[in-house]
Amino acid sequence: MVHFVGAGPGAPDLITRRGAALLQQADCIIYAGSLVNPALLGLAKPECIIYNSAEMTLEQVLAVMRQMEAEGKTTVRLHTGDPCLYGAIREQMDALDADGISYDDTPGVSSFCGAAAALNAEYTLPTVSQTVIITRMEGRTPVPEKEKLASLAAHGATMVIFLSIGLIDKVQEALLQGGAYHESTPAAVVYKASWPEEKTVRCTVGTLASSTRAAGITKTALIVVGDFLGTQYERSKLYDPTFTTEFRKGESV
Ligand code: SAH
């Protein structure tokens, strides 16, 4: 059996209890080396075999899983954040299906949630944005034509941009091209959310590239953009004294 597990954004106590239990029971752990906190490997049994997938191809990862399965052993495939975002799990799952190897998936706290926590921010403020666009800038990995950053930026919604900090000049340019954000629209960069070396940089779309450079951030960071980082919003209906819900009768004013 193979267990895909989300490691969370970095802090070892942000893994789920289920994920931690699976690590403790694993005969083999294949972890995404550059981003998973090595402290989590401390949960492994002494005899657990550990591989760093940063140095492996898909074929090599699958070969380890097949070998473990043949020996009746359990493998944990440990991905950073939640495996469903940029985790390359589909290709592993399809290969396991073809081999008749069973697997399951334990979610984790994605770094986009870790970044919001680092900023004490709410992505979905009433009247500001009720939508979060999770995307990336095209680089060596292409992005479908209809999802180009500039066209997504035309919505003016909250945006969280993964895997793109090394292309920060192009990101800034595309965000402005969209037409809905302005030089003065708030933005932030969160480096290594929830790690001891976490860093947050608050800036605007117009100063995104220069602020990122000034902070010396070149990897493991998210770019977040939108007026949710500003000061204007309306309070929620849910907790408004005059609003009636299924659980509470609103006061008349
Ligand atoms: N599955 C992961 C994302 C993997 S892609 C998740 O759910 O978070 C790797 C990218 O995620 C990095 O390039 C960076 O943009 C972002 N990332 C991962 N961990 C991060 C962290 N702790 N802080 C900021 N960004 C992070």
The reply to whether ligand 1 has any atom less than 6 angstroms from the CB of 7 is no
Could you tell me the distance, in angstroms and rounded to a whole number, from the CA of residue 35 to the centre of ligand 1? 7
Where b means 16+ CB within 10 Å and e means fewer, 159-172 reads bbbbbbbebbebbb
Predicted confidence at residue 157, as pLDDT, reads 98
| Local structure of residue 101 (DSSP, 8 states) | -
Length of the chain: 253
- SS3 (DSSP) at 31: strand
The CA distance from 19 to 3, in Å, is 9
Structure tokens at 197: 């070396």
Strand partners, 200: 190
φ, ψ of residue 233 to 5 degrees: the values are -165, 165
Could you tell me the distance, in angstroms and rounded to a whole number, from the CA of residue 190 to the centre of ligand 1? 10
Residues 108 and 36: beta-carbon distance below 8 Å: no
Q: What is the pLDDT along the chain (253 residues), one digit of tens a residue?
A: 999 999 999 999 999 999 999 999 999 999 998 889 999 999 999 999 999 999 999 999 999 999 999 999 999 999 999 999 999 999 999 999 999 999 999 999 999 999 999 999 999 999 999 999 999 999 889 999 999 999 999 999 999 999 999 999 999 999 999 999 999 999 999 999 999 999 999 999 999 999 999 999 999 999 999 999 999 999 888 898 899 989 999 998 6
Predicted confidence at residue 33, as pLDDT, reads 87
The reply to whether ligand 1 has any atom less than 6 angstroms from the CB of 81 is yes
Q: Among candidates 95, 87, 74, which has minimal Cα distance to 7?
A: 87
Q: Strand pairing of 221-225 and 186-191?
A: antiparallel
Q: Which residue has the CA at smallest separation from atom 4 of ligand 1?
A: 86
Q: Among candidates 142, 190, 135, which has minimal Cα distance to 163?
A: 135
Interaxial angle between packed helices 58-70 and 90-99, expressed in degrees from 0 to 180 and rounded to the nearest 10:
40
Could you tell me the distance, in angstroms and rounded to a whole number, from the CA of residue 20 to the centre of ligand 1? 20
pTM of the predicted model as reported, rounded to 2 decimal places: 0.96
The reply to whether ligand 1 has any atom less than 6 angstroms from the CB of 160 is no
Predicted confidence at residue 237, as pLDDT, reads 87
